[in-house]
Structure 1
Amino acid sequence: MLLTQGQVSMAISSSIVLLFTLILFLSGYVLQQRTVHSLQAAIKPRLPKPLPAPKPVAAPSLNVKWARPIGQRVGSDADFHEYISQQTIDWSRLGYVQVVKEHVELCSAMMVFADLNRLKSPAKRILLFPRAWLQEKEGESPSSSLTTSRRLLRAVARRYGVVLMPMQTIVEGSDDSLPSSYSLASIYSLVDYERVIHLAAPGVILDAGPLDSLLAFSKSQPLAAFPATSERNDISTSLFLVHPTVSDYRKLRELRATEPMTDLNLFRRSFAAPESLLSTWSLSLGNLVYESGTLRDAIDGFNATIFIEATAYVRLSDPELPGPEYDVPYYDRVRLRPQNEEAGAVWAKLYDTFRERRMEICGLDLETWTTPVLQAEEASQDEVPEEKQRPGEEQRAESEELQVQDL
């Protein structure tokens, strides 16, 4: 049976209408289901999300080469891997301490704690700072430096779990507003700790493993200091490993009260070398502490990669510079940069990293540094003190007296 043209047109039109009707129905059904699911989700009671599974805390990266008691070299590395696994270390009684005497030092100390936190050191962190910073003076508003220091104290305690310990002046009754009234000897007041390490700031910690191992496996003795020279005849303040006791704290305070002296002289007079130095074996394993100024003595063949891998802490100390926290002219930095290409690159990177992290951690730019200039002014004649004019006056009086006698 043949369909007419009208019937064909009708069939096509009906098919199109049915197709679009089906599409419209399906789209409406999908929208309806979405709406229903949204309403169900809206009226469904919200249950608290389950707590995430606790992440296992990684064990501290103790360097087996440094895990030997001071002054001893016993067994191989394999033996000491077993030795470490058998040790039970009470990290709550081991710590790193920073001593801050003035406001400009606080950010550098905070950066040391930030490095320890970044490198996941398990030891405690303690900050000693002047007790006077917590005291309010009647009728006086705190200075901008004090306000900034209080902000940084809150931040370092909150971010890095640092224990804040206000310290008193080393000599009772001295001016608590002067940095010289405080001393590194206050470290010995931390008698709740078995051993603490003090690193001279400012600096950058490249590897906390050697420092943690030295702290964990050393013998407790009053002082084990980094030697000032290769001859090992004096201590330096670059690194102190201290066993705090009340008796040593009292002894240091009594000696300091006899006469003014620097911390270096105080410790050198109280602790003899080489008995109070880190052992040669401990220092032979790598650069436990390295002074940035020594990079200028680098010889040909200096390898930056090996240096960074073998160094635990770099103290940023160049005699010609006031410190990395100060902004010095660019040409001065270029002049002092090590001549060795790789050593110069390491030196520049350390200072640039310090500047970037100072802003990142403390929110502070570099301090402005101006070279002090001494100016001598000649006193004018009318400004000569009265006692200097008096001899001339006496001469005139004597001449007048002679003239009267002649008459």
Structure 2
Amino acid sequence: MSRLGNLGHRLHRGEIAYDFVGKRKLWYGVSILITVAAILGLAVNGLKLGIEFSGGAVFTTPKTSMSVSQVQDRIGGDTGDHQALVQKLGTGSVRIQISDITLDEAKQYQGEIAKDLDIKPADIDPQIIGPSWGEEISKKAFEGLVIFMVLVTIYMAIAFEWRKAVAALIALLHDLTITIGVYAIVGFEVTPGTVIGLLTVLGYSLYDTVVVFDGLKETTKDITKQNRYTYSELANRSLNQTLVRSINTTVVALLPVAGLLFVGGGLLGAGTLNDIALSLFVGLTAGAYSSIFIATPLVADLKERDPEIKALRKRVLAKRAADARRGEQGGDDPQDSHGPADGDHGDGDHGDHGDDDPHAATAGASGSRRESPSRNRGRNRPSGKRR
């Protein structure tokens, strides 16, 4: 068995565990810092909207030997107050994008660009998008995102409960904010491909969260019928059991996305791949983080405020204090030190924990009943009447 597989087996059996839920304040603080940095980047730099959202024109030239800087120097004074974004495509052609211009301005700029680059105006492939169409696309993208969030919340509330729905929604907003903030800081354009990438990321993040929540649902079934574990402890145990699975699925998903971003967008110069690849790469990483460090600890926080879970926590802590006192007072008595306490056996104990809990195993081994010496007196005696 590989080292990672052995680690996953030990985590699932409960032999080792990382206290994610117990250190939730630390994870909350890290998430708040990252989120604040993303919001500041968005407020300072803003989003660079593609022409699909802002309207404008894209001019694609034939294959040329000129570099991006040379093209920018030649057309620099012919675009007026509008900034021209120049990209070198993998085919050797040049893509020149100018936002917020009208149809008449686009025709004028096409002729001036052709003159500056010493090519015929007919050889330039123009793509002109009006501002009204871009505004409509922006509205539909926002509506699609809101509808997605609402449906996710309803589904999580039906499949699990409202606390898990709230935690999942906060985790999704966390992933969305970080991804948009990175776009603002890096300066990549926001295109329809970016929106598709964001929706894909949110779906993947939701899948990872559902896997953890499903395990948590099974682990905490009939939790109030036992007195050994609090809700937070069982939530942390469930999270540890699915930890390696979450890591594996995230790494496998990030490898092809990294290929799109660094090889396709970086080495091959396919700038259109950057739109979707960056959102996928950042969003998948943030989604894996939020599923482990945000969603489950939030559920534990919300559940610990429930009256039944509060009462359970008091019973568990009281039982542990009583066991500690009995251990200090009568440590030599096997029934006091190893015997199960009242209400801590049978159906009242959670079914998943008997095999994995070392204390339960110790109790079963040392709690066997000793036979009285008087019961051995008749052994090895011949059958028949006594004389």
Query: Shared fold (TM-score greater than 0.5)?
Result: no
The TM-score with structure 2 as length reference comes to: 0.22
Which protein has the bigger strand share? 1
The TM-score with structure 1 as length reference comes to: 0.22
Q: Considering Cα pairs closer than 8 Å and 6+ residues apart, tell me whether 1 or 2 has the greater RCO.
A: 2
